[in-house]
Amino acid sequence: MIVLTDKTAIVTGSSSGIGRAIALRFAAAGARVILADLTEAALDGGPTTSALIAEAGGTALFCRTDVAVWAEVDALVGKAVADFGRLDVIVNNAATYSGTALLDTSEAQWAKVMGVNLTGLFHGCKRAVQQMIGQEPRAEVRGRIINLGSQQGIVTAPRDCAYGVSKAGAIYLTKQIAVDYAADLIVCNTLSPGKIETGAPGLPTDPALLDNARRRTPWPRLGRPDDIANAALFLASDLSTYMTGSNLVVDGGWLAR
């Protein structure tokens, strides 16, 4: 059993979908979880993530955060440290998409996707490293950063140029941080999901894209948020200490085909 007892973790985009599953899994493993999102309500319905964690006896704190704004990410990490003394793990999961090909993507759409998916990830990484670099190590590590990439940061993203570029950038930034701060005992990895059924409305439920994903995925089902949460728990734990700068793909065999 993997445990995160006495560890403090931030999960962005934690109100719904993959972020929600990661936060629940971390809390169940004993972590104190700071939930960061634009709204506490779940896009796919049901109780809030903080309510589910509290009901299970865990510890969670919701902080409304726009990751595209440095001051809000700065305050988020400051709140985590003020309340719990340190930051052991940050999961930069918050993301958005435009659902458009290159010629159909406006400057505003491009700016929004990059603002959340790439600048927001930059903010989370930078502020986390600022905090972690001065902490005492635990089991060789001062802190762990988990960035959410995507298989579509490795191969093309159908009808979503900006999203694919942003996720490719996330994979690169992870490698840079891992190399630059390994001597400071900071671990940084990317977690790249394949097609995950989250229940969120919009492009993720497009029948044509879902059909394509089912045909492309060798495993006899598409991914679930818990599949990604399980991998995130491993990356957040002491079991993955010698693993840094890696991109852990969880895609049911899509990229192997």
pLDDT on residue 159: 85
Asked, for residue 2, whether it belongs to a domain, the answer is no
pLDDT on residue 201: 57
Overall domain count for the chain? 1
159 close to 212: Cβ distance less than 8 angstroms: no
The domain containing residue 247 runs over which residues? 8-256
Asked, for residue 219, whether it belongs to a domain, the answer is yes
Asked, for residue 197, whether it belongs to a domain, the answer is yes
Contacts of 46 (CB under 8 A, 6+ apart): none
Each residue's pLDDT, cut to its tens digit, for the chain (257 residues) gives: 899 999 999 999 999 999 999 999 999 999 999 999 999 999 878 899 999 999 999 999 999 999 999 999 999 999 999 999 999 999 999 999 999 999 999 999 999 999 999 999 999 999 999 999 999 999 999 999 999 999 999 999 888 999 999 999 999 999 999 999 999 999 999 999 999 988 665 555 678 778 888 888 999 999 999 999 999 999 999 999 999 999 999 999 999 98
Q: What is the pTM of this model?
A: 0.95
29 close to 2: Cβ distance less than 8 angstroms: yes
Q: For residue 34, which of 69, 71, 65, 56 has the smallest C-alpha distance?
A: 65
pLDDT on residue 200: 63
CA atoms within 13 A of residue 154's CA, in its CB half-sphere: 18
35 close to 23: Cβ distance less than 8 angstroms: yes
Pair of tokens at residue 83: 């309340």
Distance between CA atoms of residues 212 and 157, nearest Å = 12
Catalytic machinery residues: 163
Asked, for residue 141, whether it belongs to a domain, the answer is yes
Distance between CA atoms of residues 152 and 158, nearest Å = 8
Asked, for residue 201, whether it belongs to a domain, the answer is yes
Asked, for residue 47, whether it belongs to a domain, the answer is yes
| CATH number, residue 47 | 3.40.50.720
Question: 18-33 as b/e, with b when 16 or more CB fall inside 10 Å?
Answer: bbbbbbbbbbbbebbb
Reading across the β-sheet that carries 8-12, which strands appear in turn? 59-64, 32-37, 8-12, 89-92, 143-148, 186-193, 247-250
List Cα–Cα distances, 26 to 92, 145, 196, in angstroms.
Answer: 14, 14, 19
How far, in whole angstroms, is CA 33 from its chain's centroid? 13
Which DSSP string do the residues of 96-139 spell out, in sequence order?
------GGG--HHHHHHHHIIIIIHHHHHHHHHHHHHTTSPPBT
pLDDT on residue 43: 86
Asked, for residue 3, whether it belongs to a domain, the answer is no
How far, in whole angstroms, is CA 188 from its chain's centroid? 12
Asked, for residue 216, whether it belongs to a domain, the answer is yes
